[in-house]
Amino acid sequence: MGNTSEGALKRCPVEVWGKIFTQVLEGGSAAAGKHLPLVSKSFKDASHPVRIHAPYISSDIHDLYRLENFLLFLTRQSCGQRHVQHLFVNLSNFEFQVLHPTANMRRGDDFSQNISRTLNKILELVDTSLTTLTLYLGPGTTPPRIRVDLPLLQELNILLSPHLLPRSDEPRFFRGTSIPALRRLNITYAGGSWERQIANALLDDIQQYAP
């Protein structure tokens, strides 16, 4: 496979491969981009400018290396190079214990502030280009607190673990966040309580922009 891809890249202009990779990412999911660098070094190099448009980041709450590394990468880019359109963030808790939900939530709370701070900094750097945001929150995690306006965001996908239930003292997932261009809101696995909390917070803001 490696020799085949190397030869194909040499015979075909890099600009053409860029268009092909763009179609692959936009036609599928953001996660598809993480496989392109595994094909060959040439695929990794040629797909790099495209992959930044649709990054897939997976982090455990105890080790935010990947999330923080992506933030560091963005801070080193000029504004014109931070053209992230589709962002997928997967947060998990590898120490999750089904039989001890209270302990899970305490651990999730302990790390939530740092996760929220890092994620908000990332969103601040891509707010002028981001059109799709997908958040997957695994068992034993606490939802981050999004506090950044996203003026171009058209699609928001939130996948919550069924083990997560909002508490009476739960901080708002979204509060004072402006998303005027939002067209599609998908909340999955969350249950009625989370759906109402998230949707109400967002719809209150969207109504301000209704004709």
Count of structural domains within the chain: 1
State pLDDT tens for residues 79-105: 777 788 889 999 988 877 665 655 555
State pLDDT tens for residues 182-207: 999 888 876 677 777 777 777 655 54
141 or 103: which leads in pLDDT:
141
- Domain with 147 in it: 55-209
Q: Is residue 19 part of a domain?
A: no
Q: Is residue 176 part of a domain?
A: yes
Q: Is residue 5 part of a domain?
A: no
The secondary structure of 101-152 as a DSSP string is HHHHHHHHHHHHHHHHHHHHHHHHHHTTT--EEEEEE-TT-----B----TT
Q: Is residue 36 part of a domain?
A: no
Q: What is the mean predicted confidence (pLDDT) over 50-55?
A: 70
Q: Is residue 6 part of a domain?
A: no
Q: Is residue 91 part of a domain?
A: yes
Q: Is residue 108 part of a domain?
A: yes
pTM, whole model, 2 decimals? 0.70
Q: Is residue 10 part of a domain?
A: no
Residue linked to tokens 């120490």: 95
Strand spans (E) along the chain: 56-60, 86-92, 132-137, 155-160, 184-188
